[in-house]
Every structure is written in C-alpha cells, then in structure tokens.
Chains A and B, each alone.
Chain A
C-alpha cells in the first residue's frame, strides 16, 4: 500500500515540475516549487515507512523547514532584489484598489 501512495506522490511531483517549467509568471514557478517541496516531505515520510528506516522522518522534518525558509527567501529576492532591505509599507496603492473594486 505504501507503494501506491509513493506512485501517486511521484505523479503529483511530475505534474508540479511540469507547471514549474511551463509557468507563465515567476510566481507560478515558485508556487509549483513550494508544492514540490511539500510533496517531497510526504514522499520521504512514506518512503521511511516503506523501508522501515524510521530515522528518515527526521530528514523529512528538516526538509519541511528548509522548504519554507527557501520559498520565503526566494520570494524576498524577487520582490526586493536583495535579502536585507527592510519590509516596505505593505498597503495596496489606491491605483491598484481602483482597478480591482
């Protein structure tokens, strides 16, 4: 039964990878990579139960943390062009608001 779950996760991974390669905007790519990372955590967890090596669960935990940090870091790199500038005033401008509502 673990094998079925692993195959399903691998299909999901390949579809997410296809979206990351195709994605029209850079945010599509980042979202797909984020999903790829989450599914990798699940893959490692299921794999550790499949092979009975339960210490791999620690690796899944660490991978979940690294995935989150890397997504936030990459987003910051794209929206601020560096890692250290302070967060700007995060309020949508009046112009954008008028376009939406």
Chain B
C-alpha cells in the first residue's frame, strides 16, 4: 500500500521533471521508478519517518508560519551585519528544553531553529537543545517566543 503510493508519487515527479510524454521515454521512466521502489523496499526504509503522511495536512499553515519567521529574523540579522555598534553582535550559547514528544517533532523544531538566521542548533539531546544565538535578545526571543509552542501544535500533534 505504502510502496505503491510512493511509486505513484515518484512517477508523477518523473513526469513533471522530464516534460516528455512519448511511449519510449515513459517506459524508461516506469522502469526507473520500479527499480527505485524495489531498492528502497529491499533497504527497508519505508516507515513513518521516511514519508510522514500524518503531518501533510498541517504543512501549509506551518510553511506560512516558518516563512514569516525566516523573513523577520533575516531582516534582523542583516541589520546586525551592517550596524557599526559593537554590541550588535554578542554570540552566546543557551540550552532550551524540548517540549515535543516525538522524535520527528524534535527534529522539525531543531531544523526550524537552524533555518531562522540568528540561531543555530548545535546539539540535540534527549530532552534539550543547545542553541548558538547571535545576540542576547535573539536568544530571549526564542525562549519566550511562539515557535516552541507553534511547532508541536501546527505540525506533529493532531
């Protein structure tokens, strides 16, 4: 079931990428998709993490949220790059607790931290994440901010 769905998605991707629809090339495409699915099946990598179906319905809202965060923090970092104030940049390390229950939620949260400039997740342990922040107010923003609450609510937990 999962395997055939995966194959169908791969073939759709192949069709859109190639843009050729004559029988020979379509046959080659089907053959390559079949080989890929067979290899993935043999390697036994189909599980809920390789293709997380359970969170696809929440993805659009999450994308809008993360894009807004990215634009906001980018503008902040660009200002800091151009400012002459020596206190604009005072890098620091902070440890934050991870509220997420699932591994997938933790990984998405750490990736979101890294994706917004100004914060980079350095280390991910069982229940906390160590973050390198560009300045104190950026770190405080992450500490009180909505991202920790938004990510389990919007993406992983139903």
Contacts and interface: CB of A to CB of B under 8 A. Distances in A.
Nearest to B95: A101
A72 B17 CA distance: 26
Given A58-B17, A92-B130, A101 B93 contact: yes
Contacts of B95: 101
Interface string A50-83: 0000000010000000000000000000000000
Contacts of A92: 123, 125, 130
B63 to A, nearest CB: 19
Interface in A74-101: 90-92, 100-101
Contacts of B17: 58
Interface string B18-60: 0000000000000000000000000000000000000000000
Contacts of B93: 100-101
Per DSSP, are chain A's interface residues mostly helix, strand or loop, or mixed?
A: loop
A9 B17 CA distance: 26
Nearest to B92: A100
Nearest to B19: A55
A93 to B, nearest CB: 11
Contacts of A101: 93, 95
Nearest to A96: B123
Interface string B79-103: 0000000000000010100000000
A78 to B, nearest CB: 17
A90 B123 CA distance: 8
A90 B121 CA distance: 14
A92 B17 CA distance: 43
Interface in B117-158: 123, 125, 130
11 contacts: A58-B17, A90-B123, A91-B123, A91-B125, A92-B123, A92-B125, A92-B130, A100-B93, A100-B130, A101-B93, A101-B95
Interface of B: 17, 93, 95, 123, 125, 130
Given A58-B17, A91-B123, A91-B125, 4 more contacts: A90-B123, A100-B93, A100-B130, A101-B93
